Structure 1
Amino acid sequence: MESVEGTPAAVGRDGLLSLLRDGELPSRDAKPSQRERYRRIVDSAMELASEGGYDAVQMRAVADRAGVALGTVYRYFPSKNHLLVMGMLIAFEGMRARLEQAEIPGDTPSERILFILQKNTTVLERDHPRYEAMVRAYMFADASASAELDAIGALMGQMFGKAIGAAELSPVQLNAVRVIGDVWMSTLVSWVAGRMSAEDVLEHLASAVRLVFRRLGG
């Protein structure tokens, strides 16, 4: 597939995850200078989010901090929501990678999934403005970020799959982890809005996980 700068040659969930893990964003045929510029734009958006949350991430401010033209930012990302969702995808991939070699404690799938949710929610709480911005972008993102949104869902499934201890999830297990992923994101929306604390999020998740996995042997 032919591509222009800012357009991944491999699109869709699997293609995007592959590009990310191989360090080849935004496309397989991108030049090193293009890859460095792309990452600098994402990093600049994340810095601005940490400093001032969602409202601080303005495309002009991102361009200025990254040292690129505003048009370059828009070639990669049609909106700030798209840009922040990519930041969220990179953050979630970092969570997944850290868990890959970790020993996950717990005697049941529920206990192990709750451990993962607790660890990841703690990470979010450490930089509340940044992750608030990411969650808001996740809420408002349009179809232009569909590949990134799908990839985030896939990453959650992979993390929960590791907790279950299954190399490949059955249809029933897959539905279960999707429900948990949806509940996690919905509670994060409440967390962002100030309606739930991190402790409230974890308490709500514990109830959801136990209910969902009760029929799957815990």
Structure 2
Amino acid sequence: MARIAAGRPSAEPNSPEQHDRRRRILRAAARIGAEKPLERVQMHDVAKEAGVAIGTLYRYFPSKVHLFTAVMAAQVDRLREQVREPAPGTAPEDAVADLLVQASRSLLAEPVLSTSMLHASNTAHVATVADTVHIDSTIRETLLTTVGIDNPTVQDVTLVRLLVQCWYGVLQSSLNGRASMADIEGDIRLACRLLLAPRSNAPGE
């Protein structure tokens, strides 16, 4: 099982060269993680694939939990980039459902990597793995933007948080072989309608 090394937070890149090294590490981890489960991924192999020294890898990612949580954060950034103006007549909750279904299909196309990312991000502690905050805030902002809320209330934020937790659970059920893609899509669409109905910009609010 992946462990957090000494509870040490990751170093942040400052120069363009450091950012490039970090991106190479994340790409290498994603390639290796697509083929091997988390417990079989070796940090030395990731460093070699990325073309960096092992010390550089550990400076940015003290453990596999840090590393694969960061891979998850990069996936979430791509999710945000996929947000498009919904088709005319599309209900806001259905636009959110469309986005989450699309994201689910992408994640489930790489089941080994997605299992590792979800495990790492669920294991990570916010005090030592800063990317957990990035994941949570980016998903929240993406969904609030998709549903059309610029100034969310406390209730809006709570409803979105519950929706994300539900989505994670649905993804995990599929990765465990307990749900088909049809089940996932149906569950996501129902959750969006139920949880987003009381939002602050819903009709009648």
TM-fit CA distance, 1:143: 4.1
Give 2:56's aligned amino acid.
T
Tell me, yes or no, if structure 1 residue 66 matches structure 2 residue 50.
Answer: yes
Correspondence for 1:189: 172
Count, aligned residues = 191
Query: 1:56 deviation in Å?
Result: 4.1
Q: Which of 78, 85, 88 pairs up with 1:103?
A: 85
Q: CA deviation at 1:55?
A: 3.5
Which 4+ residue blocks in structure 1 deviate beyond 6 angstroms? Answer: none
SS at match of 1:52: coil
CA distance, structure 2, for counterparts of residue 145 and residue 189 of structure 1: 24
Matches for 1:148-159 after TM superposition, within 5 Å: 148-159=131-142
CA distance in 1, matches of 2:28, 2:196: 40
Please, what is the CA RMSD of the aligned residues? 2.0
Distance 1:160 1:143 in 2: 21
Taking the TM superposition and a 5 Å limit, the aligned residue runs for 1:71-86 are 71-86=55-70
Whole-Å separation in 2 of the counterparts to 1:170 and 1:144: 26
2:86 partner letter: I
Q: Which runs of 5+ in 1 are unaligned?
A: 1-5, 9-25
Of all paired residues, the percent bearing the same amino acid is 28
1:57 is displaced (CA, Å) by: 2.4
Aligned to 2:184: 201
User: Quick one: which of 5, 16, 30 aligns to 1:46?
Assistant: 30
Indicate if the aligned counterparts of 1:109 and 1:164 stay in contact, CA closer than 8 A. yes
Check the 8 A contact 1:112/1:163 in 2, yes or no.
yes
How many angstroms apart in 2 are the aligned matches of 1:205 and 1:212? 10
Where do 5+ consecutive residues of structure 2 fail to align?
1-9
**What residue in structure 2 maps to residue 167 of structure 1?**
150
Q: Deviations over 1:77-101 (max 9, x none)?
A: 11111101101111111110121xx
Considering fraction of residues, name the structure with more helix. Answer: 1
Q: Which amino acid aligns with 1:41?
A: I
Is contact 1:42-1:86 (8 Å) kept? yes
- What letter is aligned with 1:54? L
After TM superposition, the score normalised by the length of structure 1 is 0.78
Against the structure 1 CA distance between its residues 183 and 112, is the aligned structure 2 distance closer, same or farther, given a 3 Å change threshold? same
Q: Which moved more, 1:31-40 or 1:79-88?
A: 31-40
Superposed, 1:18-37 pairs within 5 Å as 26=13, 30-37=14-21
| Helix, strand or coil at the partner of 2:178 | coil
CA contact (8 A) 2:33 2:116 kept: yes
Q: Which residue number in structure 2 is paired with residue 21 of structure 1? A: none
Aligned to 2:3: none
CA distance in 1: counterparts of 2:138 and 2:32, whole angstroms: 25
Q: What whole-Å deviation, never above 9, does each CA across 1:135-166 have from its counterpart, x for those lacking one?
A: 12122223455421121111111121122112
